[in-house]
Chain A
């Protein structure tokens, strides 16, 4: 055998799986299609500006600490996190008013109390009673594989208190907002996490309200840009003699007698291994890299039944001025009906939203070294459908970028249009081509309840021995979810090698 384990893809999940496996003395190779590691959480440089490809916030930071602890290292030695306080600035769509979201619960309650003291009290009560339960459950969820019924039983045995919070989990986000808060402002203020979580408020689980709690545990940005996160993980991986092969694409996974035996690259190179870990989307893995008859028809049918999570377009701007901002991030504060309408237009009708902007991030606010002196970097993210009705992204992308810039200039940061020295855009189609985001979806499959846990592809393949999966298509939760899935997958693979997790 050439390697003990081959990891396909150097996204957050692949790097964490590879790191844990290599730290246990397994000869590990990570193969990555693009020229740098990190996937959605990576960076690129253009005209002296460093941009984040997609992800631009570090939440649930303990997951990163957990990864480094698992490999016997300290996270601070590889990547430093800068705290965001205030968390972000919110711009109200109804009146253009701006609000700073404080990092502390008390600060948020104070902000809410300006409109409704009763809502402020409800918010604090929820955080005190439910916040810690949800937080602990999320921690258990992040650390427990959920591929089998027995895993689910273990999950609830580990943390039975969650059963008391089922009414929040099973409740639609919009209903939870109505039940907890009376004032429209509070509902708008705390309604955004539903959409960030990948579903409109009427379909999103009330569990996402945990996000409102979790972000007050801290939101961070890595020193040196988002790319510093995968760079740190890759450095640690290499320290354990792990090999990272960039600009190499896996064409096929070798399967013999129902067992993964290695991979074949697009240039025809065959690399053998005892086990394979895939950080690629499970649909890509099973359908394109393996296929029938090794993958049963029932699995293909299951994969085809998944809906996709939302896709995004990102505008990248280099500016020849320092921005006068009050926070690194800016977000829109919108009514839930408006969010539902946008959602329906985008993902049901395939209409590009035009002037809508969801999140603006200026990393130079916390780390000026990401741009030349006196310059700034700004990215704006809009949710956008992968498939447009009657149009192609390539035909409208530059026009779309201009509309986004106009929106930022007129609504969020007046005057930036005159300072743009560099601009580019990545559409959902680009994300699909460049970093293998199937359908351009940021969280892989839909975030609905029927696509989670037992009903999401398992970390240990249920049809091919020696094959393991990690990343967004197996585990919910964005970058932290992907990192956690990598650690859990590595643990499952370690069992096969007789090494206790």
Chain B
């Protein structure tokens, strides 16, 4: 059951990530009303889903990983709120082109972040992969510097 729920969450996050990227890619072609619609659905609904996941899904994880899983989901939820505030403020300030650029860039970035969290969650959620995934993530910030060597 735990494994099933964990896989369902990964599937949900992956779908959300791809949907956000797709929304971003289409962003340049959409009109103002459509922008408002995808912003509302993308962030407000996305945020509620994320909060619901943060409450429900950590129970599908083992004790060691439960806290991390909740924090990851709350972090994504917070990101959604920040995006929503940004667009709320910019709604009236940005012209149509500005909005198009904002939607395209920010949706794609958020989509990538969600996909990254999906991958991290998928591997960290499995006990056998956790030491390797932790090691990998702890060294990830040095990737650029190591490439320079």
Residues of A near any B CB (own CB < 8 A): 171-172, 174-175, 178, 202-203, 205, 282, 286, 296, 298-299, 301-303, 305-306, 448-451, 454-458, 462-463
Contacts and interface: CB of A to CB of B under 8 A. Distances in A.
A302 B142 contact: yes
B129 interface: yes
Contact of A302 (B131, B136, B140, B145): B145
B132 to A, nearest CB: 5
B37 interface: no
Contacts of A449: 132, 136
Contacts of A175: 128-129
A290 to B, nearest CB: 12
Q: Which residue, B131, B139, B149, has most C-beta atoms of chain A within 10 A? A: B149
Nearest to A147: B147
Pairs A-B, 3 closest by C-beta atoms: A302-B145, A450-B139, A305-B142
B29 interface: no
B148 A298 contact: yes
Contacts of A454: 146-147
Contacts of A303: 149
Nearest to B141: A305
Contacts of B142: 301-302, 305, 450
Which range contains the number of B residues in contact with the other chain? 10 to 19
A25 to B, nearest CB: 31
A329 to B, nearest CB: 29
A361 B136 CA distance: 35
B136 A450 contact: yes
Nearest to B143: A455
A411 B136 CA distance: 38
Contact of B139 (A172, A301, A448, A463): A448
B139 A451 contact: yes
B132 A450 contact: no
Given A172-B128, A172-B129, A203-B131, A448 B136 contact: yes
A302 B128 contact: no
Given A175-B128, A450-B142, A457 B149 contact: yes
B135 interface: yes
Contact of A462 (B135, B139, B149): B149
A181 to B, nearest CB: 14
B140 A299 contact: no
Contact of B149 (A174, A302, A450): A302
B142 to A, nearest CB: 4
Contacts of A302: 142, 144-149
A275 B128 CA distance: 47
Contacts of A205: 132
A456 B146 CA distance: 6
Interface in B107-149: 128-129, 131-132, 135-136, 139-140, 142-149
B139 A202 contact: no
A321 B142 CA distance: 53
A296 B145 CA distance: 10
Contacts of B136: 448-450
